[in-house]
A and B are shown apart, each in its own frame.
Chain A
């Protein structure tokens, strides 16, 4: 079946540091890939997505590239802010059923 593995947290960074959160997946076919973010006390929000190999999703300074050869979708941001503190979930969607399979989440804490 489908599965998503992402790096364990928590990740603590200083403001303006570079962020990478690793994500790899196992899936049959050609899934769509997502990063969702969950801010404290709030629901899941879609951060970015990519629907085919070599696509790059981007939003709010975050980027991730769909790498089929390494089955990866790593999240990056060049300069994090305190407001980026949240839990980040890597996820994939099987095109046939469209249910989403999530990773366990990575908590990011950015300190001033």
Chain B
């Protein structure tokens, strides 16, 4: 069990550019979650997958955001036409159906200039 991993750990981009983050969950965990954490706040739920199906999306997830989990293993989160307000820490978590506990990765810190 190597834990949840996320890449890259840091990303600096210019406004208007597209960025993509990757999350590798704990193996055999069939649920995968994305959260966003801004400075001084707690993480906010964005979306989650059970296997490859995206089951819920928050209203925070605008049309510029898209997430995929094509084979039910790793997931990607893409932000198109980034804005300065997208600057945040993007956290990924995973769990197994029936378990209450979600295990978090170290996060990807995004800075949009």
Contacts and interface: CB of A to CB of B under 8 A. Distances in A.
Q: Which secondary structure characterizes the binding site on chain B?
A: strand
Contacts, number: 56
A56 B101 CA distance: 16
Contacts of B33: 99-100
A105 B91 contact: no
A4 to B, nearest CB: 8
A98 B107 contact: no
Interface in A61-112: 89, 91, 93, 95, 97-105
Among A32, A43, A46, A49: residue with most chain B CB under 10 A = A43
A contact face: mostly helix, strand, loop, or mixed: strand
Interface residues of B, number: 23
A59 interface: no
Contacts of A105: 40-42
A100 B105 CA distance: 15
Interface of B: 31, 33, 35, 40-45, 48, 55-56, 91, 93, 95, 100-107
16 contacts: A32-B100, A36-B104, A43-B91, A44-B43, A51-B100, A91-B42, A93-B100, A95-B100, A97-B55, A98-B31, A98-B95, A98-B100, A99-B33, A100-B33, A101-B45, A105-B41
